[in-house]
Amino acid sequence: MTDKEKATKKRKLASEVMESLLVSVIVGIFIFGLLYHLSMSISDKYFDYKDLEITGEQTGVFNMWVRNLCATAAITVFLSLFLFLLGQKLAYVRSIIEGVEMLRTRELDFIIEPEGNNELTELAETINRMVKAQRELKAREEAVKEEREDMVRAISHDIRTPLTSIIAYSEYMNTKAGFTDEEIREYISLVKEKSDHITHMTDRLLDSRPREKDIVEDGRLLMGQLSGEWEAVLEDGFKYSVDMLLPERFSVEVNIQDLKRIFDNLASNVKKYADPEKPVYMRLESDGKYIRLFQKNSRRKQTESVRSHGIGLKNIEKIADFHGGDIKVGGQGDAFEITVRLKIIYDL
């Protein structure tokens, strides 16, 4: 809005008040004239009908009383009309004041209906814009808070798998005697790898930078390494099999830590919810556009201590979405199946 338009609006508000005053004055004058004319006409006819004779002095006094009464009535109409018209403006001012108070207390579920085309209208529109901005800001704050809470839950969930491995390695080393130097180095290397994984995930929680994807030339080797880690998590308690139906040579563009999280979550879900008496199956394949990870296992009977909250699946779904893919979950009876599609093939 230009300064000229703003100045016009300021003048228009004053002119609206003056218009109300002028209309009230005109109506008051009209009422005075009408009442005076009717009063004099009626009195003349009445005096003629009664054949009354009144002196000039009496006529003057009578006319003065009629004029005073008519003036009183006209002034009453003038004030009533002017206050009514002005009251509409004052009521609008009151609604604006209430809007400002609601804005101050962050009650943002209101809107001031614009009326007229003056400073009050401009003020109401400004308040409405501020309310809209505050609503958007509040929505963004809530979205950021929810995203941060989801990330904390996701990281907490994902940390359990490597942390469980570290605890298992530590307990095993603590109970077994006579380790060779090679075995000690191997277990220390495994513990360090899992610790680095935990460190990376906690760093992600504090890092606001966007995730990046890397190009891995040997995609089959990468998928083989990650499926091998998946097998290592399950080897002590489950029967499993893996079919690697991927091309011999292809490259991928992927966030490697995200891909590790998918395999970790799949393995973690198996350990928590799968029946260890029944086999677990994984298949990795490609249609030339997507890499598909298919996992099938049987559910064990749920107890309160192992109730699923679906956090792992949500984590996988978010990672798949980041990589242009999706997930499908199904299965009948106690069977559980999940297919993860990732659009990560860079070159075949």
Please state, in angstroms and rounded to a whole number, the distance separating the CA atoms of residues 136 and 138.
5
Cβ(263)–Cβ(162) below 8 Å: no
- H/E stretch holding 85 reads helix 56-104
* Residue in 41, 49, 45 with CA at minimum distance from that of residue 66: 41
With b meaning 16 or more CB within 10 Å and e meaning fewer, what string describes 243-271? Answer: eeebeeebbbebbebbbbbbbbbbbbbbb
Specify the CATH number for 214-347; select among 3.30.565.10, 3.30.360.10, 3.30.160.150, 3.90.1150.10.
Answer: 3.30.565.10
Q: Does pTM surpass 0.75? A: no
pLDDT tens digit string along 149-171? Answer: 777 777 776 777 677 777 877 77
Q: What is the average pLDDT value for the chain, to the nearest integer?
A: 82
* Residue in 151, 147, 150, 161 with CA at minimum distance from that of residue 260: 161
Taking the domains of the chain in order of start, what are their residue ranges? 3-107, 150-206, 214-347
Q: List strand residue ranges (DSSP E) for the chain, in order.
A: 214-216, 240-245, 251-254, 280-286, 291-298, 326-330, 335-342, 345-347
Cβ(323)–Cβ(254) below 8 Å: yes
Q: What is the SS3 assignment for 214? A: strand
Q: How high is the pLDDT of residue 164?
A: 74
Q: Which residue has the tokens 């390695």?
A: 169
pLDDT of 321 > 80? The answer is yes
What's the pLDDT band for 304 if we cut at 50, 70, 90?
very low
pLDDT tens digit string along 230-262? Answer: 998 898 889 999 999 999 889 999 999 889 989
324-329: long-range pairs with CB below 8 Å, 24+: 325/290
Please state, in angstroms and rounded to a whole number, the distance separating the CA atoms of residues 300 and 278.
9
Q: How high is the pLDDT of residue 314?
A: 86
